[in-house]
Chains A and B, each alone.
Chain A
C-alpha cells in the first residue's frame, strides 16, 4: 500500500477513486475526499513548511482554516497561488503543490541558521535594530526586510481567472453547519423563512463528520447530516453554500461570503468563475462558527508530528488517516481522551495519555485502562525530540510546589495536544459586539448583540452534542420569528454521546528545562514564543494591543485564533494583572485570507472605471493623437505630426492657433441647464457675478465660491432666454458644482422656482480658435450674422450647424477670436470631422489639452484646481472684477469678509519669468526670498503652472506668492537641487495684455 498511514477502513474518502498529486515534485497518491493535508499525512509527510523567522521545520497542526503552518503554493495553468492552507485544499487528480519559505529545499534550508542565531532575534527585533542611521532605510534595511517578508512567492502573471458577484437578501443567514448550525438552518427553514446556510468546508456537518462515538435519533451522525442536507435541498426557500466562508460582517447585517467555485476541480468548466462573492443582506444572522482547540505551550511544541488532538481525530475518523504509529496524547481537558480511544480502536499504539490535571475523570481513566492505555496524571510535556519529525517527548511531573520533576522520556512519532477550546467569536466581533470574559470556561464569549444576530453552540462556549443541537434549533426558530414573524412546530432531534468535556489550560506550561535555551511557541506562523511575550512585558508593553504589535503575536493569517488566549494568559501573568485587564485584540475581516480577485470581481481592466470618450475619439485615434486621462475622460493631449515629440507638437499647435486657426474638442466641459422664472435670481445667489441684467444672447464669465469665500469653480454662462441659462463648469468640477447647486436649491432656497439639469453628456462641443475662426465656421452656420458688430465677443445664439440645431458661443480660452459650437452629442462626430477638414484649407491645426493649457497660461487665465488650491480668494487671484459689488449676498460673500481673508500677506496669483528664458520651472516648486535659504525657511509660495511659450519664445510660469501683487518687478528664487533659479515677478498676463485679439 502506497499510503502507509491510511487506515484499513472508515472515513468519508472514496477508496475506490485514487488520485495522483505531487508535493515539491514528488508524486503521491490520495483519494477523492482528501484534503492536501490528509493526503500528505496518509503518505507519512508531516514536514510541509519552514517557519517565518527561524525557518524551523513545521508540520500540519490542524485540520481547519486556522492552520498556521501548512501554507503551500498550488500550481494551476502555469502559475501558482501562494499561501493556501493545505487543510483547505481539496485533492484533485494532478494537483501540484509546493512548500514555501525554504531554500534550496524543504529538507535542507539555509535560512534555518536563523534558528541557531535566535538570541539575535528577540521580540521587537525590527524596532530595535533598524533604527539608525536614517539613510540606511532605503538602501539597507528595507531591501533586507522586503526580501525576508512574506512566506509564499506572489504569482508572476496577471490573474486569468474570472470572479463572480451576487447580491442577495434573505431572512436568516446561518454561518457554519456543525450540529447547531444545521439545527438552526432546519428550524428556520421549516417556518418558510428564506434561509442561506454556508460553511467554509467542502462538506456540511462540521464536527459531526468526525464524530463516531455518538448518535443522533439513533443514527450515525454522518447519516443524520446526510438526511438533514437532503431535506434542506428539497426546500425552495433554502440556499446551501458549501466551500463558502462568511469572511466579513458589516453594518446593517450585511455579510460577505466567499464561495470557492472551481478550486477543487481537476478540469473546471472555463465558463465558471473561480470564486464568487456573495453580498448578503440578512434580516437575521445565526453565527454557528464552532470552536477551535488551543495548542499547549510547552518547549519544542512546534515539531512536525505535533497536532491538535481533535484534528488528529478528524484525520482518523473523517479522512481515514493515522497521524502516526506511536502517538502520545497530552492534554488539559477531557475531549482529547476520545482521540486516544479512537486511535487505539484503529490499532494505533497510544504510548500514553499525559493529562496535566492531578485527577482526570475516573470514567475516562477506566476506559483508558480497559484499552490498555498508560495514563499519566499531573503530567506535562517538557520538551520534544527530533527535528524534521518528532521522535520522542520528555515528560514532567507537576509537583505541589509548582515545580516540575523529570518524568522520563517516551518514544513516539506523533503527539496530539489539547489545551481546551476557544469559541470562534470572530464574526460576532466583526459585527461590533463586545466579547465578555467567562471565567468558568476560561474563554471570551459573545456578549450583547449589537446587530440582528445570535451566536449558537460552541461559538458561544456551549459544548456537548445534545446541548448544541437544542441551542441550534432554538436559535433558528428565534431568528426566523424575528425576521418573518412566523414560527412552526419543529421536532428536535435527540443526541446521545458526544458529551461536553471539562478542563483546559491557558498560557505557558511549567517545565524543568533551562528557560533561556528553550522555545515554546505561542504563535506558530509568526514564530512568537512565550519568552517573547514576557520580554515585551519587561520592556514596558502593558496592553495586549502593544504586545501584539511588538511581538507580532496574533498578527498571522489566523488573526490569533490559535494563539491569542495563550498570549493573553502569559502577558497577564507577567503583568501580574487579570486577563480581563490586559484586553483582547479586535478580530477584523477577512475571517480567513481572501483573494484580491474576489474583491475586484469584474472591476478589472476596462471595467475598473468607466471610460468617457468624446465624439472626436475615433478620428483622434485614426490621426495619431495622444491621449491623457482626465478623471474618467480620455482627452487628446497633443497631435504629433511626422515624428514630432510632445514639445515640438505643442509648439506647432500653439503657433498655428495664434497665427491661423485651431480646433479643440471641448466636449468634456461640464454643462448645466438652469431654467425657470427664478433662474437669474438663483445664479445671482450662486455666483459672485451679477446676472439679472445680463441680456439674453450675452455671456459672462462666472466665478463660483464656497461659503468660506474660496474659489471652487468657474466657467462661462450664457443667457439663452429670460428664464434659461447655459452654465459651463470645469471638466473635473461638473458633478460637484451640480450637487452644490442642488443642495442650495433644495435645502436653502426651496422657494426659488428653478430646475437644473446636467447636460454635460447631451452636447458635443468644438472650440474653433484663432484669427481665421470665423472663416472656418461660416460655411456651416446658418441663421446668424457672425460679424464682429452683430455677434461680438461674449455672445451666444441658437443657430444651426450643417442643419443641426446648435448653441453657438463666441468665447475664448486662448485670447484669440474664438467660437464654441454645441451640437447634440449624436452629431458631434459629424461636426468634428467637418471642422477638421475645413481647418486644413486655412492651414489650421487640431490641438489638445497641452496646447490649450499653454495658450491660456500665456493669457494668465487660471485653471481652478491647478492655479488655485481651495484657499484662494477672487482678490488673491486678481479677479475682484468678477464680484458684483452691489450684490447683497452670494455664496462666499460673507466668507470673503472674514479677518483672515482680508488680512495682509495673503498669497496672490502672479506671473514668473526666469531670468534665463531657457530655464523652465517645475510645477509645485517652492519660492523663496533668499537665494539660498537656510533649511526650514518657510516658502513664500509655489509655482502652479509652467510652460514653454511659443508666442514669447521663452519659458513662463504662474504662481501664488505671498503679497505677490506688490512684488511685481522684484526678484525671487526657486531653490532646486541643482541650484537656485532667480525669477522676476510679473503680472499673470504675458500675451496681448490689452485683449485686442479677442475683439476682431
Chain B
C-alpha cells in the first residue's frame, strides 16, 4: 500500500485515503468547438502511460477532498514529488535524473 502525501493537509497518509485519477496536466480545451475530432479523442482517451517517471492526479478523497498532483516512478512506485493543482508541470526528466533513473 502506497504512502501518499497531501500537499493541502501537509500529511502523509495510506493510499486508502486517496483516489488516483490518472495522468496529470491534461487540460480540457478552453473552447471545445475549435478542437478537431482527432484532438478531442486524444484529450478524451490518449494517455502517455509512461513506464518510469509519470505525473498523475490524486485526490485526498477521504480527507480534505482536494485534487493534487504527484510524480511517481511507475516501475518502483516511488513518489518523487507532490504539488498542488494549478502548479506548473515539473521537469520530469530532471526529476528522473535526480532520482538516478
Given B2, B21, B37, B86, which contacts A750 in the complex, CB threshold below 8 Å? B86
Q: With A888-B33, A894-B32 known to touch, is A281 a contact of B21 (CB < 8 Å)? A: no
C-alpha spacing A748/B3, complex, angstroms: 27
Q: Which residues of A contact B35 (CB under 8 A)?
A: 894
Q: Does A44 sit at the interface, judged by CB under 8 A? A: no
Q: Which residues of A contact B1 (CB under 8 A)?
A: 250-252, 254, 279
Q: Which residues of B contact A897 (CB under 8 A)?
A: 37
Q: Could you tell me if A742 and B65 are in contact, using CB atoms closer than 8 angstroms?
A: yes
Q: Does A234 sit at the interface, judged by CB under 8 A? A: no
Q: Could you tell me if B76 and A450 are in contact, using CB atoms closer than 8 angstroms?
A: yes
Q: Could you tell me if B77 and A252 are in contact, using CB atoms closer than 8 angstroms?
A: yes
Chain A residue at minimal CB-CB distance from B76: A450
C-alpha spacing A450/B28, complex, angstroms: 37
Which residues of chain B (1-40) have a CB below 8 Å from chain A? 1-3, 14, 19, 21, 27-29, 31-33, 35, 37, 40
Q: Does A10 sit at the interface, judged by CB under 8 A? A: no
C-alpha spacing A506/B37, complex, angstroms: 62
Q: Could you tell me if B2 and A898 are in contact, using CB atoms closer than 8 angstroms?
A: no
Q: Could you tell me if B86 and A251 are in contact, using CB atoms closer than 8 angstroms?
A: no
Q: Could you tell me if A748 and B27 are in contact, using CB atoms closer than 8 angstroms?
A: yes
Q: How far is the CB of B69 from chain A (nearest CB, A)?
A: 10
Q: Could you tell me if B66 and A707 are in contact, using CB atoms closer than 8 angstroms?
A: no
C-alpha spacing A450/B86, complex, angstroms: 32
Q: Which residues of A contact B19 (CB under 8 A)?
A: 739
- How many chain A residues sit at the interface, stated as a range, is 20 to 34
Q: Does A893 sit at the interface, judged by CB under 8 A? A: yes
Interface size of B in residues (CB-CB distance below 8 Å): 29
Chain B residue at minimal CB-CB distance from A745: B67
Q: Could you tell me if B41 and A746 are in contact, using CB atoms closer than 8 angstroms?
A: no
Q: Could you tell me if A894 and B41 are in contact, using CB atoms closer than 8 angstroms?
A: no
Q: How far is the CB of B40 from chain A (nearest CB, A)?
A: 6
Q: Does A895 sit at the interface, judged by CB under 8 A? A: yes
Q: Does A856 sit at the interface, judged by CB under 8 A? A: no
Q: Which residues of B contact A707 (CB under 8 A)?
A: 28, 43-44
Q: With A252-B77, A898-B40 known to touch, is A746 a contact of B2 (CB < 8 Å)? A: no
Q: How far is the CB of A981 from chain B (nearest CB, A)?
A: 38
Chain A residue at minimal CB-CB distance from B66: A746
Q: Does B92 sit at the interface, judged by CB under 8 A? A: no
Q: Which residues of A contact B3 (CB under 8 A)?
A: 252, 254, 281
Chain A residue at minimal CB-CB distance from B1: A254
Q: Could you tell me if B85 and A746 are in contact, using CB atoms closer than 8 angstroms?
A: yes
C-alpha spacing A750/B76, complex, angstroms: 33
Q: Which residues of A contact B57 (CB under 8 A)?
A: 747
Chain A residue at minimal CB-CB distance from B41: A898
Which residues of chain A (207-238) have a CB below 8 Å from chain B? none
Q: Does A889 sit at the interface, judged by CB under 8 A? A: yes
Q: Does B61 sit at the interface, judged by CB under 8 A? A: yes
Q: With A432-B76, A707-B28, A894-B33 known to touch, is A252 a contact of B2 (CB < 8 Å)? A: yes
C-alpha spacing A743/B27, complex, angstroms: 12
Q: Could you tell me if A899 and B37 are in contact, using CB atoms closer than 8 angstroms?
A: yes
Q: Which residues of B contact A708 (CB under 8 A)?
A: 44
Q: Could you tell me if A747 and B76 are in contact, using CB atoms closer than 8 angstroms?
A: no
Q: Could you tell me if B33 and A889 are in contact, using CB atoms closer than 8 angstroms?
A: yes
Chain A residue at minimal CB-CB distance from B26: A747
C-alpha spacing A254/B35, complex, angstroms: 45
Q: How far is the CB of B11 from chain A (nearest CB, A)?
A: 13
Q: Which residues of B contact A432 (CB under 8 A)?
A: 76-77
A738-757 interface mask toward B, CB cutoff 8 Å, 1 = contact, 0 = none? 01001100111010000000
C-alpha spacing A281/B2, complex, angstroms: 10
C-alpha spacing A889/B40, complex, angstroms: 14
Chain A residue at minimal CB-CB distance from B61: A739
Q: Could you tell me if A894 and B40 are in contact, using CB atoms closer than 8 angstroms?
A: yes
C-alpha spacing A250/B65, complex, angstroms: 26
Q: Which residues of B contact A888 (CB under 8 A)?
A: 33
Q: Which residues of B contact A889 (CB under 8 A)?
A: 31-33
Q: How far is the CB of B59 from chain A (nearest CB, A)?
A: 7
Q: With A252-B77, A746-B66, A898-B40 known to touch, is A739 a contact of B33 (CB < 8 Å)? A: no
C-alpha spacing A897/B37, complex, angstroms: 8
Q: Which residues of B contact A254 (CB under 8 A)?
A: 1, 3
Q: Which residues of A contact B28 (CB under 8 A)?
A: 707, 748
Chain A residue at minimal CB-CB distance from B31: A889
Q: Which residues of A contact B85 (CB under 8 A)?
A: 746-747, 750
Q: How far is the CB of B22 from chain A (nearest CB, A)?
A: 11
Chain B residue at minimal CB-CB distance from A281: B3
Chain B residue at minimal CB-CB distance from A748: B28
Q: Which residues of B contact A252 (CB under 8 A)?
A: 1-3, 77-78
A878-897 interface mask toward B, CB cutoff 8 Å, 1 = contact, 0 = none? 00000000001100011101
Chain B residue at minimal CB-CB distance from A432: B76
Chain B residue at minimal CB-CB distance from A742: B65
C-alpha spacing A252/B41, complex, angstroms: 35
Q: Could you tell me if A746 and B77 are in contact, using CB atoms closer than 8 angstroms?
A: no
B62-81 interface mask toward A, CB cutoff 8 Å, 1 = contact, 0 = none? 00011100000000111000
Q: How far is the CB of A280 from chain B (nearest CB, A)?
A: 11
Q: Which residues of B contact A281 (CB under 8 A)?
A: 3, 14
C-alpha spacing A334/B18, complex, angstroms: 54
Given B33, B40, B61, B67, which contacts A747 in the complex, CB threshold below 8 Å? B67
Given B32, B41, B43, B66, which contacts A893 in the complex, CB threshold below 8 Å? B32
B81-92 interface mask toward A, CB cutoff 8 Å, 1 = contact, 0 = none? 000011000000
Q: How far is the CB of B89 from chain A (nearest CB, A)?
A: 13
Q: Could you tell me if B61 and A251 are in contact, using CB atoms closer than 8 angstroms?
A: no
C-alpha spacing A747/B35, complex, angstroms: 20
Q: How far is the CB of A909 from chain B (nearest CB, A)?
A: 23
Q: With A250-B1, A432-B76, A707-B44 known to touch, is A746 a contact of B67 (CB < 8 Å)? A: yes
Q: Which residues of A contact B67 (CB under 8 A)?
A: 742-743, 746-747
Q: How far is the CB of A442 from chain B (nearest CB, A)?
A: 29
Q: Which residues of B contact A750 (CB under 8 A)?
A: 85-86
Chain A residue at minimal CB-CB distance from B44: A708
Chain B residue at minimal CB-CB distance from A450: B76
A691-735 interface mask toward B, CB cutoff 8 Å, 1 = contact, 0 = none? 000000000000000011000000000000000000000000000
Q: Could you tell me if B76 and A895 are in contact, using CB atoms closer than 8 angstroms?
A: no
Chain B residue at minimal CB-CB distance from A889: B32
Q: Which residues of B contact A748 (CB under 8 A)?
A: 27-28
Q: How far is the CB of A304 from chain B (nearest CB, A)?
A: 43
Which residues of chain A (585-627) have a CB below 8 Å from chain B? none
Which of A252, A451, A897 neighbours the largest number of chain B CB atoms within 10 Å of its CB? A252
Given A251, A739, A895, A899, which contacts B44 in the complex, CB threshold below 8 Å? A895
Q: Could you tell me if B77 and A251 are in contact, using CB atoms closer than 8 angstroms?
A: yes
Q: How far is the CB of A353 from chain B (nearest CB, A)?
A: 48
A891-915 interface mask toward B, CB cutoff 8 Å, 1 = contact, 0 = none? 0011101110000000000000000
C-alpha spacing A450/B99, complex, angstroms: 12
Q: Which residues of B contact A742 (CB under 8 A)?
A: 59, 65, 67
Q: How far is the CB of B6 from chain A (nearest CB, A)?
A: 13
C-alpha spacing A281/B3, complex, angstroms: 9
Q: How far is the CB of A552 from chain B (nearest CB, A)?
A: 31
Chain B residue at minimal CB-CB distance from A894: B32
C-alpha spacing A747/B56, complex, angstroms: 13
C-alpha spacing A750/B27, complex, angstroms: 13
Q: How far is the CB of A283 from chain B (nearest CB, A)?
A: 11
Q: Could you tell me if B40 and A739 are in contact, using CB atoms closer than 8 angstroms?
A: no
Q: Can you list 26 residue pairs at the A/B interface with Cβ under 8 Å? A: A250-B1, A251-B1, A251-B77, A252-B1, A252-B3, A252-B77, A254-B1, A432-B76, A432-B77, A450-B76, A707-B44, A742-B65, A743-B21, A743-B59, A743-B67, A746-B67, A747-B57, A747-B86, A748-B27, A888-B33, A894-B29, A894-B32, A894-B33, A894-B35, A894-B40, A895-B44
Closest 7 CB pairs of A and B: A894-B32, A251-B77, A252-B3, A254-B1, A746-B67, A748-B28, A252-B2
- Give 19 new A-B contacts, CB below 8 A, not counting A251-B77, A432-B77, A899-B37: A252-B3, A254-B3, A279-B1, A281-B14, A432-B76, A450-B76, A739-B59, A742-B65, A743-B21, A743-B59, A747-B86, A889-B31, A893-B32, A894-B29, A894-B32, A894-B33, A894-B35, A894-B40, A898-B40
